[in-house]
A and B are shown apart, each in its own frame.
Chain A
Amino acid sequence: MRPLTEEESKLVFAKLANFIGKNLIQLIDRADEPYCFRLQKDRVYYVSESSMRLGISVARPNLVSLGTCFGKFTKSGKFKLQITALDYLAQYAKYKIWIKPNGEMPFLYGNHVLKAHLGRITEDTPEHQGVVVYSMNDVPLGFGVTARSTVDTRKLDPTAIIVFHQADVGEYLRDEEALF
């Protein structure tokens, strides 16, 4: 476990900013308790400093996880957000999209979001913007990247893709082995 280097933090923050924009500051300067980012076996964890201090006493090979896992660095050095970060993304998301009940299961199986399943979407969402996907009763289901801006989606036919899938909560079942 170690703090992120400057380059690593840049990569992580760039990815997060795509979803939560300026709310990133809320993650770093928290009112309740100081929190920090830590790297452990290629994975980035967001954890309260008090937990981190106690976690230090666990040896590196034995430490499996602490706090919330945000994602991991791939072997090629890119940072990939994982579904486990959904809690914080959903809390601070700038752009959101709600999908209808009939679109829930297809999305949870790892498919992209189609226009036909679109329930609601934040006004003026630009193209290629990170968005958090919710069900109609406000349960966060995953996140992805918009294919078109809000204005352009109006003209699309029902089978067109509007959000490219990045992660969904179905991965807890499908990819439990690969997640950690």
Chain B
Amino acid sequence: MEEEGGGAFELPTAEEREAEKKAGTGEVHVVQRRMRECVRILGNFGKLGAKGRSRSEYLEQLIADISNYYGYNEFLAEKLFMLFPVAEAIEFFEANESPRPVTIRTNTLRTRRRDLAQALVNRGVNLEPIGKWTNVGLQVFESSVPIGATPEYLAGHYMLQAASSFLPVIALAPQRNERVLDMASAPGGKTTHIAALMQNTGVVFANDSNKARTKSLTANVHRLGCKNVVVCSHDGREFPKVMGGFDRVLLDAPCSGTGVISKDASVKVNKSDRDFMLLSHLQKQLILCAIDSINPASKTGGYFVYSTCSVTVDENEAVVDYALRKRPNVKLVDTGLEFGREGFTSYRGKTFHSSVNLTRRFYPHVHNMDGFFVAKFKVEKATKKSKSEKVEVKAGRKDVEMEVEEEDIGFDSDEDQKYIEESKRKALKAKGLRVRPRNQVPAPNSSVAAAA
């Protein structure tokens, strides 16, 4: 390997990198070769790593090169890089450069897949069923006519829709005569899919906070002949107040779009740390609202599906984990999707609930569809009994401890004083009141104090 590239590979030192940065970006083939070498060395660092150079130096160089070569900002390049093993990460970035196949979904309210395929073949479209996992999807290879303006399209026989957008609806599995909510629905691909699966029975609430986008949503709903849809334009966070008691809820949350970089490359540079914080905050608010809109006593449903077209952990597993912690009456269930990777149960020092592995991740380089995340919840009745059980369990634990060290119990009010102060401050802050800066060192484990 070393011979072919003209001399052994040597990692540039920090000074050399600084110089290269100043001189402008390095030559493409140099950067490319350096990336290849870094990947190779990181794959077997113990053997191949140069003496005196640390693993983190290689990583730093590789991430800098990735952001340079593929045009990401350094923050996002690192964030995405950390999701995968080194070699796979390169595959992921590479896959983001090529477009995903065009796919369409047959509208079963109007036609059948076989008839639609025949009609489109007659118009000079080359297509094939997507895969075994769906019986309504078709993949378009090439077409002599614009696929979004054929008479069949206008008559509502199909919807132009990415393959990944089928997944949350398949996971939701709506049944006839149910009441379903699609919380962020424009432009209506998933909404119309839900209506088609329900065969125009029951009622589907299609909500989107953006009023301008509800136009295309309504047009699509009418074009595809969905007669059971109510389109409304509320902020999703208002939802249990507007209307509750749904049998199933789908939340395809607004996200950073790191799964669809091949579609919208502007994500590469315009996302910063703050965007991710704001988005995950919004997602956490929405997910609780969605869960609260569900009728846990529903006979047929009580299911909730959360999905994003993003691959980052803080928009996916972290949000799901948050919901599990905040709402003890929900639990994750199997999505019913037969492929996809399991969600992370722990990621870079964070540990999530053990059932988070029931969620599914989809990647462009593995499944040849947009990066996607799907989680399915079952909402059960919030019973008082379960709470008291928990208390009992806790009490039981305490009893055991008490027997062991009996002298230690009892309150030491002096020692507790700082904890009490701290929790008072927290309570005030939570109310939105201004708190005076503390004049003493903050208590080390205030969260424990708050819980107590």
Residues of A within 8 A of B (CB): 47-48, 50-51, 54-55, 57-59, 62-69, 84, 87, 104-105, 108, 135, 137, 139-141, 169-170, 172-173, 176-177, 179-180
Known A51-B230, A63-B232; contact A104-B225, beta-carbon cutoff 8 A: no
By the criterion CB–CB under 8 Å, are A51 and B218 in contact?
no
Known A57-B243, A69-B222; contact A108-B230, beta-carbon cutoff 8 A: no
By the criterion CB–CB under 8 Å, are B228 and A48 in contact?
yes
In this complex, the member of B151, B156, B214 whose beta carbon has the largest number of chain A beta carbons within 10 angstroms is B151
Closest 4 CB pairs of A and B: A169-B154, A64-B231, A84-B222, A65-B231
B227 within 8 A of A: yes
Instruction: Tell me which residues across on chain A come within 8 A of B361, comparing CB atoms.
Output: none
Q: Who on chain B is nearest to A105 by CB?
A: B151
B219 within 8 A of A: yes
By the criterion CB–CB under 8 Å, are A172 and B232 in contact?
no
What would 13 A/B residue contacts be, using CB atoms closer than 8 Å? A48-B227, A54-B243, A58-B230, A62-B233, A65-B218, A66-B231, A67-B230, A87-B227, A140-B155, A141-B155, A170-B154, A172-B219, A180-B218
How far is the CB of A64 from the nearest CB of chain B, in Å?
4
Instruction: Tell me which residues across on chain B come within 8 A of A104, comparing CB atoms.
Output: 151
Known A63-B232, A66-B229; contact A176-B243, beta-carbon cutoff 8 A: no
Q: Which of B149, B152, B155, B215 contacts A180 (CB 8 A)?
A: B215
Instruction: Tell me which residues across on chain A come within 8 A of B228, comparing CB atoms.
Output: 48, 51, 67
B242 within 8 A of A: yes
Instruction: Tell me which residues across on chain B come within 8 A of A50, comparing CB atoms.
Output: 203
By the criterion CB–CB under 8 Å, are A54 and B232 in contact?
no
| Dominant secondary structure at the A interface | mixed
Complex CA–CA separation, A84 to B156 (angstroms): 11
Q: Who on chain B is nearest to A84 by CB?
A: B222
Q: With A54-B179, A169-B151 given, can you name 20 additional A-B contacts, CB distance below 8 Å?
A: A51-B203, A51-B228, A51-B230, A54-B243, A58-B232, A58-B234, A62-B234, A64-B233, A65-B218, A66-B231, A67-B228, A87-B225, A87-B227, A135-B151, A139-B155, A172-B219, A176-B215, A176-B216, A176-B219, A179-B215
By the criterion CB–CB under 8 Å, are A139 and B151 in contact?
yes
By the criterion CB–CB under 8 Å, are A139 and B216 in contact?
no
| Dominant secondary structure at the B interface | mixed
By the criterion CB–CB under 8 Å, are B119 and A137 in contact?
yes
Q: Which of B149, B151, B234 contacts A141 (CB 8 A)?
A: B151
Instruction: Tell me which residues across on chain B come within 8 A of A170, comparing CB atoms.
Output: 154
Instruction: Tell me which residues across on chain A come within 8 A of B261, comparing CB atoms.
Output: none
Complex CA–CA separation, A121 to B151 (angstroms): 20
Q: Please, what's the 1-or-0 string for B212-249, where 1 marks a CB less than 8 Å from any CB in chain A?
A: 00111111011101011111111000000011000000
By the criterion CB–CB under 8 Å, are A62 and B223 in contact?
no
By the criterion CB–CB under 8 Å, are A169 and B155 in contact?
yes
Complex CA–CA separation, A170 to B155 (angstroms): 9
Instruction: Tell me which residues across on chain A come within 8 A of B156, comparing CB atoms.
Output: 169
In this complex, the member of A68, A104, A141 whose beta carbon has the largest number of chain B beta carbons within 10 angstroms is A68
Instruction: Tell me which residues across on chain B come within 8 A of A87, comparing CB atoms.
Output: 225, 227
By the criterion CB–CB under 8 Å, are A54 and B203 in contact?
yes
Q: Who on chain B is nearest to A179 by CB?
A: B219
In this complex, the member of B179, B203, B233 whose beta carbon has the largest number of chain A beta carbons within 10 angstroms is B203
Instruction: Tell me which residues across on chain A come within 8 A of B233, comparing CB atoms.
Output: 62, 64
Instruction: Tell me which residues across on chain A come within 8 A of B218, comparing CB atoms.
Output: 64-65, 69, 179-180
By the criterion CB–CB under 8 Å, are B230 and A54 in contact?
yes
Q: Which of A47, A84, A140, A177 contacts B215 (CB 8 A)?
A: A177
Complex CA–CA separation, A137 to B14 (angstroms): 70
Complex CA–CA separation, A139 to B152 (angstroms): 8
How far is the CB of B101 from the nearest CB of chain A, in Å?
23
Instruction: Tell me which residues across on chain B come within 8 A of A55, comparing CB atoms.
Output: 230
Known A48-B228, A50-B203, A169-B223; contact A108-B243, beta-carbon cutoff 8 A: no
By the criterion CB–CB under 8 Å, are B227 and A67 in contact?
yes
By the criterion CB–CB under 8 Å, are B219 and A57 in contact?
no
By the criterion CB–CB under 8 Å, are B151 and A108 in contact?
yes
Q: Please, what's the 1-or-0 string for B112-153, where 1 marks a CB less than 8 Å from any CB in chain A?
A: 000000010000000000000000000000000000110110
Complex CA–CA separation, A12 to B152 (angstroms): 29
Instruction: Tell me which residues across on chain B come within 8 A of A67, comparing CB atoms.
Output: 227-230
Complex CA–CA separation, A48 to B157 (angstroms): 23
How far is the CB of B195 from the nearest CB of chain A, in Å?
12
Instruction: Tell me which residues across on chain A come within 8 A of B227, comparing CB atoms.
Output: 47-48, 67-68, 87
Instruction: Tell me which residues across on chain A come within 8 A of B219, comparing CB atoms.
Output: 172, 176, 179-180
Complex CA–CA separation, A137 to B229 (angstroms): 28
Instruction: Tell me which residues across on chain A come within 8 A of B221, comparing CB atoms.
Output: 65
How far is the CB of B145 from the nearest CB of chain A, in Å?
10
How far is the CB of A137 from the nearest CB of chain B, in Å?
7
In this complex, the member of B152, B216, B218, B234 whose beta carbon has the largest number of chain A beta carbons within 10 angstroms is B218
Instruction: Tell me which residues across on chain B come within 8 A of A140, comparing CB atoms.
Output: 155
Q: Who on chain A is nearest to B235 by CB?
A: A62
How far is the CB of A33 from the nearest CB of chain B, in Å?
9
